[in-house]
Amino acid sequence: MFHLPAGVIYLDGNSLGPLPKAVCDHVSKMMRDEWGEQLILGWNSCGWMSLATKLGDRIGRLIGAEPGHVVLGDTLSIKVYQALAAGLDINRDRKVVLSDTGNFPTDLYMAQGLIKTLGKQHELRCVSPEEIWDNIDETVAVLMLTEVDYKTGRLHDMKSLTKKAHDCGVITIWDLAHSAGAIPVDLVAAEADFAVGCTYKYLNGGPGAPAFIYVAPKHADLVQPALSGWLGHDAPFAFERDYRPGSGVERMRVGTPPVIALKSLEAALDIWDLADMADIRAKSIELCDLFLTEVEARCPELTLASPRDWKKRGSQVSFRFSEAFAVKQALIAHGVIGDFRAPDTIRFGFTPLYLDESGVLAAVEVLENVITNRIWDQSKYKLREKVT
């Protein structure tokens, strides 16, 4: 299903998923037959205009959303801004955005930018992940969390946190960047208010693939979009002077949809239509547990940075090591691609879609060799380049 380079064990699909084999032909066909032949008419004749909601439903199935309540577009940063602005508008008498230090920086940065734009009456309160529960109270307007920590893989309990938030009148925003396609998510069961996520990690949509946003039905026709673009207008092609929000999640569309990127994602989602998230999760736990156990036994120099209990972990395993960057570089040179997160974390993502036990064991073998023989301790690995 995927193209993977010969000799590479890829443990960074949680940063950028690999190329699904069907993508190239699907995108080329769209370019030649649709853009090339239909030109402007493609917006209707080829269904480009409805792609953002059509693909939204296919992602919706993976995250337990109601049909018609997920839409694609923009980047995750933009979708965070939209969700947060909407949440603060719903809870406009409260001024606190509660988040945690394990949240991905761009979520926090976008909140800082929005708060500045709103006039600084608001406060971004950032506590440790463990302190979130105790900090949910009646002063909080919005609880904004990433379900799975990008660095450690620690998993928040979406359902119980959302329940407590709602008991205190708090609106919830869940960032599913490291959840969608990695673990089962059930937004309806959790009664989440908003969710956002990206599609270039476990969903394999391609570098910079569009983001998605979910708005719960009870809010969908009420939220007032801060980013009120023409594609979120009730009648985009009437070219009215004033903004009138479209129905439901359609109002969260902003500008002209990125058709080529959406087409890449469309082909990538074909794989997901066949997948059962419970199976994916079961196999992912096996792979993660195997890696974790083997590395702890064979590389005592590394310190586990992820929860040992799979119930508290997403689909990645991270370790701390003072020379994490050099280790990551040495691993790549030996065919194992993991990721580095400053200052001292190496993280490894696992997905049963293109990884099995033998791959995991081979990766451990390489890691043990790199650590035991101090292969990382060479200037070519220790050189600190700009890191992605």
Q: Which of residues 110-129 bind a copy of itself (CB under 8 A)?
A: 110, 112-114, 116-119, 126
> 200 an active-site residue?
yes
d(CA 331, CA 375): 9
- Residue 71 · residue 253 · CB < 8 Å: yes
Q: What's the rounded Cα separation, in Å, for the pair 121 and 119?
A: 6
> Min. distance of Cβ 210 from a copy of itself in angstroms?
8
Nearest distance from C-beta of residue 337 to a copy of itself, angstroms: 6
125 is catalytic: no
Q: What's the CA gap between 287 and 329, in Å, rounded? A: 23
If you compute the radius of gyration of the chain from its CA atoms, what whole number of angstroms results? 21
Among 83, 85, 145, 317, binds a copy of itself (CB under 8 A): 85
Dihedral over Cα of 317, 323, 329, 330: its sign = negative
The footprint of a copy of itself on this chain (CB under 8 A) covers a number of residues equal to 92
> Does residue 358 touch a copy of itself according to CB under 8 A?
no
Q: List the interface residues with a copy of itself, window 217-236 (CB under 8 A).
A: 224-231, 233
Residue with smaller CB distance to a copy of itself, 29 or 159 = 29
CA distance 75 to 93: 29
| 106 lines the binding site for a copy of itself (CB under 8 A) | yes
Q: Which of residues 315-334 bind a copy of itself (CB under 8 A)?
A: 332
Choice between 278 and 387, CB closer to a copy of itself:
387
Compute the least distance from the CB of residue 383 to a copy of itself, in Å.
Answer: 13
Instruction: With contacts defined by CB under 8 A, name the span among 36-44, 212-220, 295-303, 307-315 that binds a copy of itself.
Output: 36-44
Strands (E), 227-374: 303-304, 316-320, 336-337, 339-341, 345-349
Position 70 contacts a copy of itself (CB under 8 A): no
33 is catalytic: no
- Say whether 201 is catalytic: yes
Q: Which stretch binds a copy of itself (CB under 8 A): 158-166, 207-215, 291-299, 375-383?
A: 207-215
Please report, for residues 154, 239, 291, 294, 338, the alpha-carbon distance to residue 304 in angstroms, rounded to integers and kept in the order given: 12, 56, 11, 12, 15
Q: How far is the CB of 200 from a copy of itself (least distance, A)?
A: 7
User: Scanning the structure block, which residue is given the tokens 């569309």?
Assistant: 253
CB of 194 to a copy of itself, least distance (A): 17
DSSP label of 209: P
Nearest-angstrom CA–CA distance, 133 and 373:
44
- The SS3 assignment for 384 reads coil
Q: Is 23 in the site for a copy of itself (CB under 8 A)?
A: yes
Tell whether residue 292 is a contact of a copy of itself (CB under 8 A). no
User: Mind telling me the catalytic residues?
Assistant: 104, 175, 200-201, 347
